[in-house]
Chains A and B, each alone.
Chain A
Amino acid sequence: MGAAGGGGPVAPARAVGATRAWARLLGSEMSLTFRRPRNLAMLVVLALVPVLVGIALRTFGGPDEGGGPAIFAQVTGNGLFLTFAALSLLVQLLLPVSVAVVAGESIAGETGAGTLRYLLVAPAGRTRLLAVKYANVVVFCLASVTVVALSALLAGLALFPAGPITLLSGGTVPLSEGVLRIGLVVLYVAAGMAALAAVSMALSTLTEVAIGAIAGTVGLVIVAQLLGTLPQLSALQPYLLTHWWNGFDGVLRDPMATDEMGQGLLAFAAYVVIFGSIAWARFTSRDITG
């Protein structure tokens, strides 16, 4: 690495400069991510699904007693439940796929296009570059989950009556607290997606073809979900990332059951630590030829 970084910070203001450089790098990554038509299209699709579900429920009514998940029956009574229904639906595949696309692309895409070499010439250092890229993906995770929740919230309020929320335990909380609890769900699901992003990013450092990392991640998600449905392998379930994504129903209980969500967050953290370190070891040690 030479002194190629022309406008780099000077020694006295090093700490401030480093933060600023970090922020600038993240900013440029984010503007790349959120200006990419493909990513925007994914966000639009994510926003459309809750609206479609809402319209379908409005047109055809909720599922009859005993048919379909009970949560969909709740939606017709209270629009706020559309957020929970939409999130529990999309967290199965559509959200993971869109996160996998962005995260799997992050390193392998640059390698494949031959642009990674130029990024590495800047005096940023590979560790920092990796951290920035991961931070960028985490922002995308939060954004996509928020898009789903917001669109479901607006669609639910527009299509169905709204009011105090009936919790699973039979208690009732005011609308404002319901919205607050939705906020907790958004954060929880985003954390689950961030854990998947770490896996996807590790795969992304192992290949030079972005589609390989993306397909690998989606494949892992499907395999994990398959393993999770086999009752014979129930002992394996707590170790599967997918097992925890849906575990946010604790916010709808009274008193709020935080134990399962707490365990879920620990599982997410474990995935981030393991796969983040794999990505780091691979990314900082390999030869960049692309």
Chain B
Amino acid sequence: MKKILTLALALSVGTAAAQSQSTFTWPNAWTAEPNTANKRGGELRLAQFSDFKSFNPFTSSEADSIPIRMGSGSGLFTQDPRNDEFIPYMAAAPAVISNNNKRFVVKIRQGMKFSDGKDITVDDFITTWKIHTDDKVGSNSRDSFFLAGKPITLKKIDNYTIQFDFPQTSASALGIMSFTPWPDHIFGAAYRSGGADAVKKLWTLATPASQIVSPGTWTLESYRAGERTVFKKNTYWGDWNKDSRGQELPYLNTMSVRIFADANAQLAAFLAGQVDTVPMRNADDLAQTKRAIDNGSLKAFLKANASPQATSQWITFNWNKDGDAAKQKLFRDVRFRRAMSHIANRDAMVQLALGGLGTPTYYSVYPIFRQQIDAGVAAGAPQYKYNLAEASRLLAQLGYSKKNAQGYLQNSAGKVLEFNLSTNAGNTVREQLGRIFADEAKKVGVKVNFTPIDFNALVSQLTAKGENRPFDAILLGLSGGSNVWSFGNNVVPCGSNLHSYNNPTSGKCLTSQEQLMTKLYYQGDAELNDARRRAIGAQLMKTEGELQPVIYLVGANFHVAFNERLGGEFPAAMMDAYYGHRFNALTFIK
């Protein structure tokens, strides 16, 4: 009896192993509503704001480009939205790690095919890496194949085994390795014969859709400039992507994306049932959608405040003001910056500028990355909350205790406490944030000259290097980043180009805290253990919080709205700005 059981077990494990070698099973828990009736076909109708610019994955630079939409459902590893962990995806098994966590050997699944039926092999990964890293191509992904300026190298072991060598250990390694492979038989061939120029000439908007080849869920069916792009399912993709009952994915036949240059028209199309989901920008969008649902003209799912957005809004002070010694001294004084944080009335900003739909922020880590935030707060990372009395006390320590006739603070020499603050004109939310900040500052006697200016002029001020950079303070925002190591490699280390508060020609740190933050940044990036890395992040947050080089303000919230004809969304608790509200592969039309 025991023998039979063992045999049966061995057999089932054997088949399971064989199956897992060739297919990836999408967990049942990734959807709130599994497609048990096996409904197939239909079209997912999406909308987007800016026009599609290119079919070419190497020259495209947009966030929601055609190559990125086609490439979804590819990559060696993928993140599980339940716990953020990377699991093997195009990889057949977890990577074999050696050489002090710097070498990763990955076996890829056999039997995966591009949409033209050609096998996906290691050559496709190698070629993609080569072309992305050629600076003559100008790929936006180039920097993701470098660590601290040193290249990551790929090596072919055999047709289905690939080796990555990292210049140093990195927690982001699995994410870095998870790029989309593009066909070597198209791009590699062109690259070998004509170099970067030949690659750039491939897959322009004039290329017929039938010649476009995709490794992912979707491939191009048709493209109409400025109007609509239609994707059809890559039938070969279902060979290795199955749902938990073993059915081929995706369920849908088609996904279309309509271009709207006007956000109101986009919302109108959603309310009219012409598109299935649109982003909810603000309270007004939510109210209109709610009204349409309530009066019965729209059957849709609506969830307000699903999570914070993965963005930040902040004020940075310029420490490099050799031309104005008084201001330089002021901006470099931690008490001044803490006072400024006490002045920021974040609750009023959420209420007035974001219509109540936002989250106050105190750290560079976006509030959506809850685990890191929690670790930081637990480690005692400070929050200098709205407190005008405390702000006045700190400013008095700096010598600003008397007010002049206009009600502004001045020091013993009669110098008024004032500075210029700019943001990019036209961004109404930032303009309101700046006004609220300036109004509150006036209450304690700080004169803030707030002026929205042209975006490009603002950016060149912010990214200027040198001992006398051309601004006092700037209100701006950043987005982009991962939940693995949620600190910016262009932001935290001294000398990096978005280290906005202190950027002298030499790129040197000015304070010991900056040095510590730079050290912690690289230490955390090199730590593979999640808990230990989070602990390092917590220390980094604590140091950053105490130094207050940048005053973080508020972040808008992410809301979910989609037409109820769609099924297969995430459980409501799993929806957030990082993962969205569904995987297209598990989406079906009811």
Whether chains A and B associate is no
Q: Using CB atoms and an 8 Å cutoff, list the residues of chain A in contact with chain B.
A: none
Q: Using CB atoms and an 8 Å cutoff, list the residues of chain B in contact with chain A.
A: none
